[in-house]
Amino acid sequence: MRYALGIEYDGSDYLGWQRLSEGSTVQAAVEQALSFVAHHPVQVVCSGRTDAGVHARCQVIHFDSEAVRTDRAWVLGTNTQLPRDVRVLWCKTMPDDFHARYSARARRYRYTILNRNIPPAMQRHFLSWERLPLDADAMHEAAQAIRGEQDFTTFRTVKCQAKHPNRDLHDISVQRHGEEVIVEVQANAFLHHMVRNIVGSLIVIGRGEKPVGWMAELLALKDRTKAAPTAPAEGLVFLGAKYPSEWQLPAQVTL
């Protein structure tokens, strides 16, 4: 039987989602908890990997098990075995052809910048900080130049293992809410560090150090060394993947 789970986590104390030979990862914690409930080893597949220090509002995973458990039992039992910074939100029995990664049609991220003179004491693991005033309108205007299907070589890390740099960026917005500047982005998929690299260059524009047209220039250069430094992991939240309605998943992850 195949199951899909929605998981939220605070990634502050983890080396990222993906299981490693050593060190604490979210995947390892989830697999250990599920294996306890299933009474057999369980391996999971996620909708999108997150890096060290990055959080998730609704990471979707799937796993297979012949253990007889209700969806509610998977949720409650797994949560009793998870650390406090990881929680299963829901479980749904799925057809065998559902795949957490390949069935998804989009992924969404949010990056939050606290823009004031003083760094945060509260929520500091969920906020990036910028002391200099940011022009959110200029950042939003600049970001529109990278929408659509593009070669995002400029905004991928040199360690990125993706087969090609092309991605379809569906939407990107930058808005100010009081002291916070919030960047939201949706694409069919993302390259390694792509969101943080985009945000890093938008911050430079927001400070007034580069013109609005700089984002378009960077995209055309296809050269990572010409762009700004990668924005910090703090502040980045993987909101989750989006799936076609035919899978009948919760509204939070449905197109």
CA distance 81 to 17: 17
Active-site option among 51, 64, 85, 223: 51
Query: Does the pLDDT at position 159 exceed 90?
Result: no
Whether the pLDDT of residue 221 is over 90: the answer is yes
For residues 18-27, give the mean pLDDT: 94
State the chain's maximal CA–CA distance in angstroms. Answer: 59
**CA dihedral of 51, 52, 55, 59, whole degrees rounded to 10:** 50
Find out whether 197 and 204 touch, Cβ atoms under 8 Å: no
3-state helix/strand/coil string of the chain:
CEEEEEEEECHHHCCECCCCCCCCCHHHHHHHHHHHHHCCCCCCEECCCCECCCEEEEEEEEEECCCCCCHHHHHHHHHHHCCCCEEEEEEEEECCCCCCCCCCCEEEEEEEEEECCCCCCCCHHHCEEECCCCCHHHHHHHHHHHCEEEECHHHCCCCCCCCCCEEEEEEEEEEEECCEEEEEEEECCCCCCHHHHHHHHHHHHHCCCCCCCHHHHHHHHCCHHHCCCCCCCCCEEEEEEEECHHHCCCHHHEC
Query: Hey, what are 206's tokens?
Result: 């927001």
Percent of all residues in the chain with a pLDDT value above 90, rounded to a whole number: 96
| pLDDT greater than 90 at residue 143 | yes
The predicted pLDDT at position 158 comes to 82
The residue behind tokens 């969404």 is 108
Average pLDDT, the chain: 96
Interacting residues of 220 by C-beta distance below 8 A, sequence separation 6+:
none
Does the pLDDT value for residue 162 go beyond 90? no
Give 225's contacts (C-beta < 8 A, 6+ positions apart).
none
**Has 135 been annotated as catalytic?**
no
At residue 84 the predicted structure's pLDDT band, cuts being 50, 70 and 90, is: very high
pLDDT at 68 over 90: yes
The tens digit of pLDDT for each residue in 184-202 reads 999 999 999 999 999 999 9
- Please, is 80 exposed, middle or buried when counting C-beta atoms within 10 Å of its C-beta (0-12, 13-18, 19+)? exposed
Average pLDDT over residues 150-154: 96
pLDDT digits (tens, 9 = 90+) for 227-238: 999 999 999 999
Asked whether residue 98 carries a pLDDT value surpassing 90, the answer given is yes
